[in-house]
A and B are shown apart, each in its own frame.
Chain A
Amino acid sequence: GIQVEQSPPDLILQEGANSTLRCNFSDSVNNLQWFHQNPWGQLINLFYIPSGTKQNGRLSATTVATERYSLLYISSSQTTDSGVYFCAGPGYSSASKIIFGSGTRLSIRP
């Protein structure tokens, strides 16, 4: 099955800093998604981005499907950005078998 790798595994930043999180996948992936899991366990869908670039406030994401990677940019980090960021995507062989990467744990210090 498809493999989804995320980097870095952990990231500690000061409030106000910018960051880039990366997601690599082993095979063609459509319907790539980025999620934020807050400290209480809630998973929030940030972006549904099979290709191209999308922006939502301080967050933006870019997926280059032909090169099998996606990037999540967080600008002017706030403490509420802390948590775990997951990318997830299905392989073409099974569109509904959505596989999560191992996540990037982000800690924003005041």
Chain B
Amino acid sequence: DTEVTQTPKHLVMGMTNKKSLKCEQHMGHRAMYWYKQKAKKPPELMFVYSYEKLSINESVPSRFSPECPNSSLLNLHLHALQPEDSALYLCASSQDRWNGGLFFGEGSRLTVL
């Protein structure tokens, strides 16, 4: 069983909708990540949170808005997405941003109509 839990597993939304992806870890990790993965491509880093503060934003469009309410939770708020944003969104955590392997959730598969 994965120790990083993502919800929902599947999400279909229209371009005018507002939705959120949620991620939770209970491993005491202090770094959390959002990755985006298109079919047959490797995961691409979007955001990194370290000790609940945003430390890396890989020039992600503002229609994606991350939030880290506490050390165990990471959200990704979605608004006015485009069909090309359809992808698998993966959350990961690590001991901290300098050490430790990445542990991934099962992902949220997003379809934008």
Q: Are A86 and B109 interface neighbours, CB within 8 A?
A: no
Distance of B8 from chain A, by nearest CB (Å): 14
Alpha-carbon distance between A31 and B88 when the two chains are bound, in angstroms:
25
Q: Are B45 and A42 interface neighbours, CB within 8 A?
A: no
Q: Which of B42, B48, B98, B102 contacts A103 (CB 8 A)?
A: B42
Q: State whether the Cβ of A26 lies closer than 8 Å to any Cβ in chain B.
A: no
B interface residue count range (under 10 / 10 to 19 / 20 to 34 / 35 or more): 20 to 34
Q: Are A41 and B103 interface neighbours, CB within 8 A?
A: no
Q: How many residues of A contact B (CB 8 A)?
A: 23
**Which of B43, B55, B58, B88 is packed against the most chain A CB atoms within 10 Å?**
B43
> What are 9 A-B interface contacts by the 8 Å CB criterion?
A41-B88, A43-B107, A45-B104, A96-B50, A96-B97, A97-B56, A97-B58, A100-B42, A100-B43
- Given A31-B101, A86-B42, 4 more contacts at CB 8 Å? A42-B2, A45-B102, A94-B56, A101-B42
